[in-house]
Chains A and B, each alone.
Chain A
Amino acid sequence: MTRIAIFDFGAGNLFSLHQSLHRNGAQTVDIIRTLDGLEKYDGLVLPGVGNFDSAISSMQKDAVMLNTAVNDGLPILGICLGLEMLFNKSEEGILDGLKVLEGEVLMLPRKRVKVPHMGWNNLRIVMTDSNLLKGIPQDSWVYFVHSYHIEPNDEKLVAATTDYGSKLPVVVERSNLFGTQFHPEKSGKIGAQIMKNFVNVCEKNE
């Protein structure tokens, strides 16, 4: 029985994400506001709603526990903001990021492209043995809504990119730590497959 927790930053709609995890194989999906008791779960999702500083504030006291969970290999999926938070810092806020991954988060280039980057764009998969992108065809369409983008120091983390003004890293993967700049829970059948892949990783970890 796969149990997955969604961390609530207190910033809005988690209903779609909750439903998506259920539809794609998770038996129990709980919304949590603290990482106390995280050991009950087979995976953790950091959702993509809210803004950087308030999300970081809501997690600050749990930062150590999060780092421990990452090191222990708990499957974690950061979506959009939930991915951006994992880095050192962001141009969206003044607080430090969670520093799980090295790198920073920058504003999209307003002069060259419309911001937010909103709509369906293609995935260029660069990590051929990605677990999160297993079975996902090259150039698949996924749904983006974001104004900031990640800039990881280590290129080897990048599992897929997309073109928007420049080549943006949009999927990262390091063992059981995953992140997507787009919203898999809103990306139709392709997104559903990505959610299934994550749930499968959680199941193995059970």
Chain B
Amino acid sequence: MPLSKRIIPCLDVDNGRVVKGVKFRGVKDAGDPVELAKKYSDQGADELVFLDITASKQDREIMKSMVKKVASVIDIPFTVGGGIKTLADAREILLNGADKVSINTASVKNPELVTELMKIFGRQCVVVAIDVKRNYGIHDKHNATSGPDKDYYFEVMIYGGSKGTGIDAIQWAKKVEELGAGEILLTSIDADGTKNGYDIELTNTICNNVRIPVIASGGCGSTEHMVEVFNKTDVDAVLAASIFHYDKLTLEKVKINLARKGIQTRL
């Protein structure tokens, strides 16, 4: 039997509270991170991801104590990301009880960080988050991976999706695997916030080019979208935020629906 597909609720944390908003507009309080973590864990979440969306200096202390509290109440793996720039930042999060750290901008700015983390804590602790956007500009040098028939390439974006890097996402995914990433958290900025479904083309392309697990993120509005990405790509896990907030949909319901569609999850 293959591994079960993982369903991973994502909690955006600002100043010690879970928030939900669309791209920095109308950020709404969605609850206490420890309570929500426990609730999702009890409902059958396979893992949890916490993203610190402010990541200011004083916020790091709040994050540290939140990580500790979460680790005391749940018995499933959890990842913490957002604002992790150095080995010291990552160590602090891991020693307080997180199982994995997710690094994004820092992995582009300082790729050795991925390798250092892997050497000290093991590959399984290192999630590299890659934010990707289609770039319709000049891209001759990217044709080899994106395909000559395409009028765009997949560009790696940093600083919360606000800044392009000119790096081809396919090459970057292969590179981070080599550097020591244990997993890739792949977010499609084109799909994010649309609730129109995961970015199948992007997810498929990345999955076909690496041997480490890939988590699809961005665009999920319903269980159908999960079914679609699991059926059409080799992705290992899906991240979803908004569909679980305010009890619109429970993990149990999602998993029952997935089972009906023949998707193997942990029930």
Contacts and interface: CB of A to CB of B under 8 A. Distances in A.
Given A12-B120, A120-B266, 6 more contacts: A11-B121, A15-B71, A119-B236, A122-B1, A141-B266, A163-B1
B97 A16 contact: yes
A185 B97 CA distance: 12
Contacts of A99: none
Residue with the highest number of chain A CB atoms closer than 10 Å, among B72, B77, B94: B77
Contacts of A15: 68, 71, 95-97
B122 A120 contact: no
Contacts of A110: 211
Contacts of B76: 143, 186-188
29 contacts: A11-B121, A12-B121, A12-B125, A13-B98, A15-B68, A16-B97, A19-B71, A19-B72, A23-B75, A114-B213, A115-B211, A116-B123, A116-B182, A116-B212, A117-B3, A118-B124, A118-B182, A118-B236, A119-B3, A119-B236, A120-B3, A120-B46, A121-B3, A121-B4, A143-B76, A147-B123, A187-B75, A187-B76, A189-B75
B85 interface: no
Residue with the highest number of chain B CB atoms closer than 10 Å, among A20, A116, A146, A164: A116
Contacts of B121: 11-12, 49
Interface string A154-184: 0000000001100000000000000000010
Given A115-B211, A122-B1, A20 B75 contact: yes
A145 interface: yes
B228 to A, nearest CB: 20
B124 A12 contact: no
A141 B75 contact: no
B41 A188 contact: yes
A121 B1 contact: yes
Interface in A102-142: 110, 114-122, 141
What 8 pairs between A and B have smallest CB-CB spacing? A15-B97, A141-B266, A145-B124, A119-B3, A120-B266, A120-B4, A19-B72, A186-B77
Nearest to B4: A120
Interface string B90-112: 00001111110000000000000
A120 B75 CA distance: 13
A153 interface: no
A25 interface: no
A183 B213 CA distance: 18
A50 B124 CA distance: 10
Given A13-B99, A110-B211, A185-B75, A120 B6 contact: yes
Contacts of B46: 119-120
B45 to A, nearest CB: 9
A110 B212 CA distance: 10
Interface in B28-60: 41, 44, 46
